[in-house]
Structure 1
Amino acid sequence: MKYNIEELMKQEGSIGAWIKDLDMAFTNLTRETPYGSFDRIDWQSLTFLNNHPNTSVAEVKKLLQYFTDETELNHRIKDFENKKFILIGNEGQIEFTELGMKAFKKASAVQAEILEKSFTDITQADYVTTIRVVKQMLQNIQPYINNTPKT
């Protein structure tokens, strides 16, 4: 370390705080559409259902367990079913309905706008450097953590 990390953190803030703030911002993003408002969990669900047309409730829960608990997941799945975005078969298989696909397309358009705005004034080199730094920090602190972070 050839610089004063404490001074740098005073000037810029800690990288951990910035990452936590960014994660919180992603969590609270809302994709407003004629089919409703879709938050991070809804967006992940719609995307998964669109990309995996022959899936099951168990597979959706497996993906989304990273974002929330089982009670919330059950609520979200039931909400999608009530809105007629999905049909759930007797074996737990999920069918993404035409209405669900329309909702995904509208939410996807809003997501594309969010993505474009989020990368304003950020170069490819900036992005690559940020990812490299975060990965390196995770590797550096690995011996000090109890649970391996998902990378």
Structure 2
Amino acid sequence: MWRLPGRGRNVRVDASARTVDRARQVTDQNAGPQAQIVAVGLDGNVWHNVIHADGSLQGWGAPAGTGTTSAMAAQAVAIAGSPAGESRILAIGTDGTARHTVRRADGTWDLFRPVPVGPGGRSAFAAGTISVAAYPDGTTQTLIGAR
């Protein structure tokens, strides 16, 4: 059961054994009609769900991983939504690097990609922690703690 930010009500989300044991973050789409949940599932993959304004659920889905149509395996996830209905999702992959994707307002996904240029000019960012926040103008700010 999650309390939807800014909506003053709770929503029960089925976290069946097939998908997730716990949701990591819930985001309220800024000025949008829905909330979105992202979680690491029992299978170690990233899972996503949409809670519509009427409380109904879209259903759990696994966005594709980096350069593949297979699900994105991750250790941790974070999500932020924009007023336009897009979501930015960050994940720490099983290799320990930060990755990101966008879920477009029409429900389509970009593939997860490594967050470029880690400390010292490395091609991948070795992450210990991640967070993302959205602003009303549609921009996002990302915070990645190096490991």
Q: Please state which structure has a larger fraction of its residues in strand.
A: 2
The higher radius of gyration belongs to 1
Larger RCO (CA under 8 A, 6+ residues apart): 1
Q: Please state which structure has a larger fraction of its residues in helix.
A: 1
